[in-house]
Structure 1
Amino acid sequence: MKKLNSKGIKVLKTIHLLLVMMWVTGVLAMATLYLLKPKSGDELYMVLNIILFIDWVFVIPGAILTVVVGVIYGFFTNWGFFKYRWITVKWIVAILIILAGTFYYSPLLEQSLEIADQTRDAALDNPVIVEIPTNVPPCVQFKLTPCFSFPKVVIIISTQKLSELYQYAGL
């Protein structure tokens, strides 16, 4: 199969970085918005609606297109798919994050939005939307939800840093 020249690789790398930034920035925005503590059901509904919008406009396209660019990288450059361990780690973690978002976080976010729409102020106390951990120190306690994006952020950033370490170590 024909490989990309150096200019093509630079363009591909730029597109890849922009898409990853779109994905990570979307997840960070979602996490930041969920840290807001809505005082009414209407505020909760709007926050969840904005989070869903960010998910559909930034996170999902960013994630899918990042994978598409990764496939292009695999076929049209010397990097391959499994030639280096750090690339394999990135593939595995990226796919796991996308699967978790698709089959766990997004449905719960949509369910939470539906509950907030139907029950408004009563939604502030709904355990599906708000879980307050009791065994966590007070300095760490804040509203959590199954659709909370912080784990995504940690996984994405950790994967990126691990892959950079693997790359520099020559693995």
Structure 2
Amino acid sequence: MKKLGPAGMKWLKIIHILLAAMFFGGIMSSLALHFAVNMAAYEETLSFYQHAVIISDHTIRIGAVGTLLIGFIYGILTKWGFFKHRWITVKWVLFIIQTFIGIFIVDQLMTSNMDMLEAEKSAVLHDPVFIQNHSLRQYAVIIQIAITVLIFCISVLKPWKKKKGT
């Protein structure tokens, strides 16, 4: 299969950076809202979860899926491949871990709490399961942020890269 030339690589990198910024910005926005919510006020808590769902569905998810698709394009249409360099393989593994955390922890806890808020109204604010879900979601988002920063560092530093002449 024909590989991308220099111009194609530059455009691919621009799209990749924009999508990664969208993904990371969405996660950071969600965390910022999380710290700002007054969990004693029902309307404010409901509003937080409504906005967190919007951020997740329209910013984080688009950034994540777009980044994944761009990663496949990089693997198929460039010299980088998927497993040619250890740092690329590590990025893929970290991205998969991060995606599973997002889908199976963050989104599930958010959906569960949103359902509880709509069903139980203000009484849910004192429910231990609701409070635990809220805290676990916060820690999972922080883990996602840490993984994203690690992926950024790996992308720039390219550790484990073969040295020239060896």
Listed one character per residue, the Cα deviations across residues 83-142 of structure 1 (whole Å, up to 9, x for unaligned) are 1111111100101111121122111101101111222322222223324xxxxxxxxxxx
Amino acid aligned to 1:157: V
How well do the aligned residues superpose, as a CA RMSD in angstroms? 1.7
Give the AA of the match of 1:158.
L
Q: Which amino acid aligns with 1:76?
A: L
Match of 1:9 in 2: 9
4+ residue stretches of structure 1 with deviation over 6 A?
A: none
Q: TM-score, normalised by structure 2?
A: 0.88
The unaligned stretches of length 5 or more in structure 1 are 132-142
Hey, which of these two has a bigger chunk of helix by percent?
2
Q: Partners of 1:97 and 1:2 in 2: how far apart?
A: 31
Is the 2:86–2:161 Cα contact (8 Å) retained in structure 1?
Answer: no
The answer on whether the counterparts of 1:128 and 1:145 sit within 8 Å (CA) in structure 2 is no
Superposed displacement of residue 61, structure 1: 1.1
Q: Which amino acid aligns with 1:124?
A: L
Shift of 1:144: 5.1
TM-score w.r.t. the length of structure 1 is 0.86
Residue aligning to 2:136: 146
Cα distance in 1 between the residues matched to 2:128 and 2:27: 23
Unaligned runs of at least 5 residues, structure 2? none
CA contact (8 A) 2:109 2:134 kept: no
Which residue number in structure 2 is paired with residue 82 of structure 1? Answer: 83
SS of the residue aligned with 2:130?
Answer: coil
Instruction: Name the residue aligned to 1:170.
Output: 161
Structure 2 counterpart of 1:122: 123
